[in-house]
Amino acid sequence: MATHSMIIPSSSSSSLAAPASPFKETLPLFSRSLTFPRKSWFSQFRLRFFAEKHSQQLESSNGCATNFASLQDSGDHLTEEHGTKEESTLSITVVGASGDLAKKKIFPALFALFYEGCLPQDFTVFGYARTKLTHDELRDMISRTLTCRIDQRENCGDKMDQFLKKCFYHSGQYNSEEDFAELNTKLKEKEGGKLANRLYYLSIPPNIFVDVVRCASLRASSANGWTRVIVEKPFGRDSESSGELTRSLKQYLTEEQIFRIDHYLGKELVENLSVLRFSNLVFEPLWSRNYIRNVQLIFSEDFGTEGRGGYFDQYGIIRDIMQNHLLQILALFAMETPVSLDAEDIRSEKVKVLRSMKPLLLEDVVVGQYKGHSKGGKTYQGYTDDPTVPNHSLTPTFAAAAMFINNARWDGVPFLMKAGKALHTRGAEIRVQFRHVPGNLYKKSFATNLDNATNELVIRVQPDEGIYLRINNKVPGLGMRLDRSDLNLLYRSRYPREIPDAYERLLLDAIEGERRLFIRSDELDAAWDLFTPALKELEERKIVPELYPYGSRGPVGAHYLASKYNVRWGDLGDA
């Protein structure tokens, strides 16, 4: 049943000017809130909505009711003292508003949520950056990237105008308390004395995370509502720097206020992973070493650094993709059944997986770097040809790795990761290769290559989202000839409506305090513990990456690594 927060007024309000952390000072107010401790009323509403939407065919493409504002009573809160409703407002501040991520992803995601009726009735969006812009200049910049749903274009222009009127801009330095104090004044003007909830999205380089959090904490936190901060990766470069970043943030924030975002966790097929496994009897009994031969996590981009080489060169493909995106998917895939769908139960199971894994060994890693190549009359630059990249850089743009989980379910099963830039195709997928059928009656039909007779489950995360299971079947005719066929769930055919962007889902979850798809600090520590030793050895020994042509399938060494564990990369048979 939906509930409202019962707020018992505090005897003393926190002061924004105090030297201690105001973010933390507001927490006693929350600890006295008489709410369900594990699941917000809106989360319960969403669960009911998803359960009902297929039968009722509600007009929504991302799970939000079109009349959300009325369903949530405009975000009002019922106070115990007066028995009356206290109106609330939501302020979303995008720090680094003039950057590419904000323009291409964050503002469009916020508009999509507004268009779908997923934002509260009373909300304000502020852009904050060092660039000098007026409100109208920000709105003009944002408007160029806003689009409406393909399947819902009614009143698109009107909706854009309404959204842009709620967008404002404040220019300031990232380390200036005075500039954030001015931002706080502007936020208060828009909030109009209502219960103020504030969400900060840090779309900025990690070296200024702490400065922004400090200034916002001391000068621009909410005095009577919640304050939350979304932090973008990378979360450090290794265990040491990540731990230092976490300790610095926690000087001003509690763990409950930090939302470490990995946008891959918001992708539809990744979120569907646990549904596929835990709600289908046909899969769960097979989900172990007894039936699964190997698991492959494959990420590829068909373009290079494209002028972002200076940034990429500081991290490389292992830190940029493997340690976060692919490892998070692996943890979701391999975790035990959680006690419930509560965020902490799910995240605790993921941490157990990570702590059960062997740290990555250098002998189980292959690194590569793309070189210049001419194809179809066009010349493609190599990685070190990028003017923003040092000439003799050893930073890998490709990596393949074999990892193992030391527990009863997965002992001995290789989890192979592969990620690279400037490859032959763009995509991300999970491939589950099952074991051979014992005493297969039809093995002669597959000659000596029994791998052709194994079943394979493929979960394609992007593009062309889909799930397909490869099975063996008889080709129609008088003879006995076998063929491999796909039982295919192609999302664009089964679900013609547009799939929401991952940032929409994650922003909505952060607003509602749903942490299931965000990374906890102990989870982050466990992830870095797996990769830091190999990363340090790669850099200390100055391992030279194997060169591969731009637009190819990557270095040959990746195939030797797979064959070491009697595995063939599943994407080799794809076009």
pLDDT at residue 54 above 60? no
Q: What's the CA gap between 39 and 516, in Å, rounded?
A: 11
pLDDT at residue 124 above 50? yes
Q: Outline where 62-117 has alpha helix (H).
A: 68-71, 100-101, 107-115
pLDDT at residue 118 above 80? yes
Maximal C-alpha separation, the chain: 86
- 78 or 552, greater pLDDT: 552
The confidence score (pLDDT) of residue 455 equals 86
Find the mean pLDDT for residues 79-99: 75
pLDDT, one tens digit per residue, over 422-461 is 999 999 999 999 988 776 766 666 555 556 668 899 999 8
Q: Which residues contact 539 (CB under 8 A, 6 or more apart)?
A: 394
pLDDT at residue 395 above 90? yes
Count Cβ atoms within 10 A of the Cβ of residue 328 and give its class: 0-12 exposed, 13-18 middle, 19 or more buried: buried
Task: Using DSSP bridges, classify how beta strands 482-490 and 518-519 pair: parallel, antiparallel or unpaired.
Answer: unpaired
pLDDT at residue 387 above 50? yes
The confidence score (pLDDT) of residue 447 equals 53
pLDDT, one tens digit per residue, over 232-251 is 888 889 999 999 999 999 99
Tokens 């042509």 correspond to what residue?
Answer: 549
- 152 or 19, greater pLDDT: 152
Catalytic residue list:
325
pLDDT at residue 9 above 90? no
- 380 or 481, greater pLDDT: 380
Structure tokens at 541: 């020994």
3-state secondary structure of 21: coil
Q: What's the CA gap between 90 and 520, in Å, rounded?
A: 24
The confidence score (pLDDT) of residue 132 equals 92
- 85 or 244, greater pLDDT: 244
Q: What is the mean pLDDT of the chain?
A: 82
Task: Using DSSP bridges, classify how beta strands 227-232 and 482-490 pair: parallel, antiparallel or unpaired.
Answer: unpaired
